[in-house]
Amino acid sequence: MQPKHIFPRAAFPANPKVNSDQELNEALHEIGYLTAVEAEHKAELKRRVEELTDEYQNRLSVGIGSEKKTVPIAEHVNKLNQAIEKYCSKNRGKLLEGDKKSREFSHGTVGWREGKDRIDFCEGYSSSKVEKLVDTTVAGGVLKKIRKLLESLHFVGTRAVSLVCEPKLAFSKTNTLKAYKDGKLKDEHLDAIGVCFVAGDEQFYIKPNDVALQSESA
């Protein structure tokens, strides 16, 4: 049976006040005492966590049938996922009906979902290079002028501006993607600033049903 935890004593109340040299000295002792208690319990906590980690690390493995081999559960699950994906990719036409993207089984679902579209930098281009192109080819130098204006505004009335704020007028992949999908930007516009639209790749997924484990003590 685990001994009942006893909280350390606190000589000072919850809202302590120091009104004399003696109380100051006692407060210093209190800090030293409680710091030592905390360090002792943290050390004990660390020791117990390490013990539990070692114990449960052994439980995170599974015995492989008649092979008499023990492997980490995560490793075995990963191999099962790979085997399922290989089978489904090879037999996709047989597994799916019509234009369906997934197939339900009694123990779970497998299928394919569309990946996320994105805007990416073309080869040889970086964020800083693209921002310069945006300024010269799209904004006609306006962004550079705005930055200089903001940098010159040390104070507006009594409020500090550039002394505490950094003007950020950065290229946004998110805004560019939205404008492209809305038809406001074309491929030639993206080419002019060194970025391109990348359609999301189709992603295979596996979703097993939840399994309720029976308690060992049941």
Per-residue pLDDT of 119-152, as tens digits, reads 999 999 988 888 888 777 665 556 666 667 666 6
* Any domain includes 24: yes
* Any domain includes 189: no
* Any domain includes 70: no
Read off the DSSP letter of residue 135.
I
Q: Which domain holds residue 55?
A: 19-59
* Any domain includes 14: no
What is the chain's mean pLDDT, rounded? Answer: 85
* Any domain includes 85: no
* Any domain includes 133: no
Confidence at residue 155, expressed as pLDDT on a 0 to 100 scale? 58
Burial (CB count <10 Å: 0-12, 13-18, 19+), residue 207: exposed
Residues paired with residue 198 on neighbouring β-strands, in sequence order: 118
* Any domain includes 122: no
What distance in Å separates the CA atoms of residue 104 and residue 135, rounded to the nearest whole number? 51
CB count within 10 Å of CB 46 equals: 10
* Any domain includes 45: yes
Confidence at residue 57, expressed as pLDDT on a 0 to 100 scale? 84
Look at residue 23 and tell me whether its pLDDT is greater than 50. yes
Confidence at residue 127, expressed as pLDDT on a 0 to 100 scale? 85
Look at residue 44 and tell me whether its pLDDT is greater than 90. yes
- Give the total number of structural domains in the chain: 1
